[in-house]
């Protein structure tokens, strides 16, 4: 599946860009929430998320790059989140955060930074719907893909199988037409793509092309 990141959309034409995503082959809309504390950048928050919800016809995949995410889980559910991912590095009581997300009726995800080992997720894997592997240091769109992610993806895929987990593997950061196929081959299920989609001349065609590359591996 492909989840274009709205972070790279043109915020002055957000409705237009959401409608483009509705008409495209994209499966989910990836929504990046940054607080300027967990990551060195601010993006947008609940009011913008609600505005996206008004037009989005695809599931909103909310990625919380914030400290104290528990405080906002319910609000993001109300703002349209179908899935919510919290960061491993931001949650002291990760198991509780995951249960809270699930009790709200959302898919529960955990995101890990490039320096965090996938092995640290072993004890929560059976409870997870989604693991988001950061393939850049979170905070900004348009960064260079960290190659080590390929190994982490296969390692995580094995861990998921060993633990009888149904978690999907999502790769976030620096995804493009050169690494998409290899990531799916390594075991990824969902690719997030921001800059590569929105900086292209024809984003809808770029989405279709990425989806085709991904589908070819699984076929």
153 SS3 class: helix
Is 32 labeled as catalytic in the residue annotation?
Answer: yes
Strand residues in 103-194 grouped as ranges (E): 107-112, 130-134, 168-172, 190-193
Q: Which of residues 166-185 bind Zn ion (CB under 5 A)?
A: 172
Contact string 22-41 vs Zn ion (x = CB under 5 A): ----------x---------
Please tell me whether residue 32 binds ligand DX5 under the rule CB under 6 A: yes
Whichever of 30 and 100 has its CB closer to ligand DX5, that residue is 30
Sole binder of ligand DX5 in the list 109, 187, 194, 203 (CB under 6 A): 194
Q: Which of residues 114-153 bind ligand DX5 (CB under 6 A)?
A: 136, 138-143
Q: Cα separation of 41 and 5, whole Å?
A: 16
* Residue 89 touching Zn ion (CB under 5 A): no
- C-beta of 8 vs 97, nearer to ligand DX5: 8
Question: Which H helix or E strand runs over 55?
Answer: helix 46-55
DSSP per position, 169-193: EEEESS--TTTHHHHHHHT--EEEE
- CA dist 21 to 31, 108, 135, 206, Å? 13, 23, 23, 11
Q: Is 192 in the site for ligand DX5 (CB under 6 A)?
A: yes
Our answer to whether residue 70 is catalytic in this structure is: no
Could you tell me which residues come within 8 angstroms of residue 80 by beta carbon, excluding any fewer than 6 positions away?
49, 50, 52, 53, 56, 60
If one asks whether residue 29 binds ligand DX5 (CB under 6 A), the answer comes out as no
87 backbone dihedrals φ, ψ, rounded to 5°: -90, 135
Q: Which is catalytic among the residues 17, 129, 172, 189? A: 172
Give the binding-site size for ligand DX5 (rule: CB under 6 A). Answer: 22
* Residue 203 binds ligand DX5, judged by CB under 6 A: no
Residue closer to Zn ion, measured from CB, 11 or 162: 11
Q: Which is nearer to ligand DX5, 99 or 143 (CB)?
A: 143
Enumerate the active-site residues.
Answer: 32, 172
| Contacting positions for ligand DX5 (CB under 6 A) | 5, 7-8, 30, 32, 63, 136, 138-143, 172-175, 192-196
């Amino acid at each position: 599946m492909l989840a274009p990141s709205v972070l790279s959309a043109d915020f002055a034409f957000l409705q237009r860009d959401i409608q483009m995503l509705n008409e495209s082959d994209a499966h989910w809309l990836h929504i990046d929430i940054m607080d300027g504390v967990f990551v060195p950048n601010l993006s947008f928050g609940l009011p913008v998320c609600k505005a996206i919800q008004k037009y989005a016809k695809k599931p909103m995949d909310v990625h919380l790059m914030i400290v104290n995410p528990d405080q906002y889980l319910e609000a993001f559910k109300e703002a349209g989140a179908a899935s919510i991912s919290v960061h491993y590095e931001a949650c002291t009581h990760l198991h509780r955060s995951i249960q809270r997300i699930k009790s709200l009726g959302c898919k529960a995800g955990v995101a890990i930074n490039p320096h965090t080992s996938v092995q640290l997720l072993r004890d929560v894997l059976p409870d997870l719907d989604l693991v988001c592997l950061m393939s850049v240091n979170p905070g900004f769109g348009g960064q260079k893909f960290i190659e080590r992610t390929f190994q982490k993806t296969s390692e995580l895929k094995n861990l998921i199988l060993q633990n009888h987990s149904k978690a999907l593997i999502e790769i976030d950061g620096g995804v493009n037409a050169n690494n998409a196929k290899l990531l799916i081959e390594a075991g990824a299920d969902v690719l997030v793509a921001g800059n590569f989609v929105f900086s292209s001349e024809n984003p809808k065609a770029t989405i279709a092309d990425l989806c085709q590359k991904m589908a070819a591996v699984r076929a």
